[in-house]
Structure 1
Amino acid sequence: MKSNKIAFALHSNQQSIVHSKSDWEFVENLGFQVEYVQSEEIDSCGIFRWEDNGTGSEQLSSEIKKMDWEKYDEKILCGFSSGCNTILKTLLKYDIKCTSLLLQSPWIPMIDEDLKKLSDKLERYSTNVYIVCGMEDEDCFARSQILYHELKGRDINVKKLWVEKLGHEFPNDYTIIYENLLYMKNGVNNASKQ
């Protein structure tokens, strides 16, 4: 029997679908049908990237439409680093409603110009947003905080986990963290260990 829950997972720059499967396959254990999207933009041999001004939004939108997205009861988008930027740009550009966003170490320069428009759309579609980022992630922590504080001031279910002593990577216990964020009403807000 096919699941009534679907998730799309996007890798980071200098990665591939192999990395994405390794990072996000745990979502299958939560009852989701998981689809993995590999960027069309080649970085070098066997690895890919999501260019900030590239075709990632068009690609993700096209893949979502192929899956008859609206027929699923629960729809989540999962991204690591630049995959998060592609997800947010896609949601801003296209009429795609999703239940939840899982944003790991989000590299999201798109919010520098489009934060208010993005927030308006996430609020209008009642999208849950879960952000996990290392406090030592020099490229992503500052923008993660900006996104969280903007969404917290809206009628949006947003939860965050700032992980001490963590750089640009997944926390050791991230599968448990995301399961808790998705299915517990009061998700964890801070982590003091890593």
Structure 2
Amino acid sequence: MRDQNEVWQNNLYLQEEMLLDRAVEILGESDALEAYKYLLTEKEKIKCQSSQLYNYLYCLSAVAGKKEDALAWLKEAIEEKGFWYRPEVFDDSDLESLRSEAIFQKCRKLSEERFLRESAKAKTICTWKSVKSRKLALVLHGNQQNIGMCRAHWDGMSDQGYQVEYVQSGIVDSYNLYRWDEEAPIRLDKVIEEIQWDKYDSRVLCGFSAGCNEILKSIKCAKIKCEGIVLVSPWIPVIETGMDELLEFMKDNSIWIEVICGKKDDDCMTLAERFAEAAKEKGVQVSTRWIDGLGHQYPNCFLSCAGIGSGKV
């Protein structure tokens, strides 16, 4: 049974995720001002407001022409909350109207100092401690995410008999958020070397967005063997080169594939379809779910789909 504190924390992550996703939808449907007004109205419902929420607040208010609001949110995030962001965040064109302001420059300097300090000590983390089941699901987050955000979506696989464990990248993005780097050395294979991978009857690698790319990169380059992979909203530029080699290995080792992606996910849908079609042509067992109206996000209750984690969606 899952710890109640973890369930409570998972719900907090989901609440904020849904709030931010809705703000993005409003931005697309209307404009930055309406999206900003929505966040102002709804944000108090989030008990633990993250650095990501503040990023939305100061960016949207800046684009909406509310310069003083934007500077106030930025000041609160950096000076009062102690948050920080990767340096590229401050080059965002959304913040152009703030660049000449002293408070912007001060916040940028403080943030970069914290970023460099945290980058120097960050390391890849895996939650695995021991074998607790015959089935293992190893989950990788997407960019600008963390283990906690993953738990909110994947912990439910434990109800299907899986021991669910998580890998968190050692590359920092912003306060309590991490990312995968396409050019960085493979990390997943090092994690697998340190756990009792071969003691499980079923091993499933699961990922969201850039976490999917890390999975495919590791299978391709490190020849990681598993029973299956589950890719949600997969951002997978790794398939641009050497996809035949990757799929040949997956076919030879009977690795099944599940791909779940929103039809409105402009960043990922094209490559996801291409990968799934190539896998079918190669003779790899692959199942797909293309979801109407969904952008780059998790579908609602996606684990309740029949066969999730079994290659039979």
Instruction: Specify the alignment match of 2:302 in structure 1.
Output: 174
Q: Are positions 1:22 and 2:158 aligned together?
A: no
Q: Structure 1, residues 99-130: CA drift from partner, whole Å, max 9, x if none?
A: 11000000000001121111111111110100
Report the residue type matching 2:218 in the other structure.
Answer: T
Unaligned runs of 5+ in 2: 1-130
Mapped contact 1:5–1:33 kept (Cα < 8 A): yes
SS of residue paired to 2:158:
helix
What is residue 254 of structure 2 aligned with on the other side? 126
| Residue 137 of structure 2 is aligned to residue 10 of structure 1 | no
Pick the aligned partner of 1:101 from 219, 225, 229. 229
SS of the residue aligned with 1:33?
strand
Q: Which residue of 1 is the match for residue 179 of structure 2?
A: 49
Please state if 1:115 is matched with 2:243. yes
* The 10-residue stretch of structure 1 (134-143 or 92-101) with the greater mean CA deviation from structure 2: 92-101
Q: Which has the larger radius of gyration?
A: 2
Give 2:213's aligned residue: 85
Alpha carbons 2:143, 2:179 under 8 Å: kept: yes
Candidates 198, 202, 219, aligned match of 1:74 = 202
Residue type of the partner of 1:180? Answer: G
Number of equivalent positions: 183
AA aligned to 1:109 is P
For 2:167, the aligned partner's letter is V
Contact 1:159–1:181 (CA under 8 A) maintained in structure 2? no
- For the residues of structure 2 that align with 1:118 and 1:96, how far apart are their CA atoms? 11
Match of 1:158 in 2: 286
User: Is the partner of 2:230 in helix, strand or coil?
Assistant: strand
Listed one character per residue, the Cα deviations across residues 59-83 of structure 1 (whole Å, up to 9, x for unaligned) are 2112112221111100000000000
- Aligned residue type for 2:174: S
1:5 partner letter = K
Structure with the larger strand share:
1
Go from structure 1 to structure 2 and tell me whether the alpha carbon gap of 1:36 and 1:123 turns closer, same or farther (over 3 Å shift).
same
Residues 1:183 and 1:62: Cα distance change in structure 2 (over 3 Å): closer
Amino acid at match of 1:148: A
Which of 146, 167, 176 is the equivalent residue of 2:274? 146
Structure 1 CA distance, aligned partners of 2:310 and 2:268? 25
* Partner SS for 1:110: helix
CA displacement, residues 16-61 of structure 1 (integer Å, 9 cap, x when unaligned): 1111111211111111111100000011111100011123x2x211
Q: Which amino acid aligns with 2:307?
A: N
TM-score under structure 1 length normalisation:
0.90
**What do the CA deviations read for 1:133-155 (whole angstroms, capped 9, x no partner)?**
00000000000000010001122
Of 19-28 and 132-141, more deviation after overlay is shown by 19-28
- CA distance change for structure 1 residues 78 and 184 in 2, over 3 Å: closer, same or farther? closer
* Partner residue of 1:37 out of 148, 154, 167: 167
Q: Find the aligned partners of 2:311 and 2:248 in 1 and give their Cα distance.
A: 25
Q: Residue 163 of structure 2 aligns to which amino acid in structure 1? A: Q
1:156 is paired with a residue of what secondary structure? coil
Tell me which amino acid in the other structure corresponds to 1:16: N
What runs of 5+ residues in structure 1 fail to find an aligned partner?
188-194
**TM-score, normalised on structure 2?**
0.56
Does the CA-based 8 Å contact 2:251-2:283 persist in structure 1? yes
